[in-house]
A and B are shown apart, each in its own frame.
Chain A
């Protein structure tokens, strides 16, 4: 079945690195996504990774995928106050429904 889990809250100091973790249960997931949501707004796609990759880097963002453990992480280097938001991971499978299944989101608070 489909289930995506994230920790609810993370607090870091400005300039530190943030690591947001996500676990998923469906081994047939082909794409895994990270979205950012600011208060009262829609979701903004940050990055995604294909299931045959281990790592993807895009400027301050690094995504790591451990397919054996079904574990996905998002690392934000040099975290800024503007990074404060809720971060969602989501999985998509290439069979059946093809819609995204989202985690419950991790609220990142960046302290100055």
Chain B
């Protein structure tokens, strides 16, 4: 089955901790994206990558970091510098310049 997986589905973080959200795809897509969704709002772009070993900041990159060492993987780290990290995080992938396909999301809650 081809698709995008995100883990974990729910994640709880204590103040001051870094946490890493996983995103894996087996669609052979070159491009991958991370979005943040807050209640009643649309999606905001955190980071994106159009090719392995390269990534770009989106609109709200502060307090987040990413890596793209493999084509199929694009993990997102939420650092302690992110002051309000509680949100729903969505990963997507695409063939460059084509429609994006989304994973099921990770809900992060700061305790």
Contacts and interface: CB of A to CB of B under 8 A. Distances in A.
B48 interface: yes
Interface residues of B, number: 26
Given A42-B102, A42-B104, A99-B58, A88 B97 contact: no
B105 A100 contact: no
Nearest to A103: B42
A45 B99 contact: yes
Interface residues of A, number: 23
B99 A40 contact: no
A98 B100 contact: no
B75 interface: no
Contacts of A104: 40-42
A24 interface: no
B42 A42 contact: no
Interface in A40-66: 40-45, 48
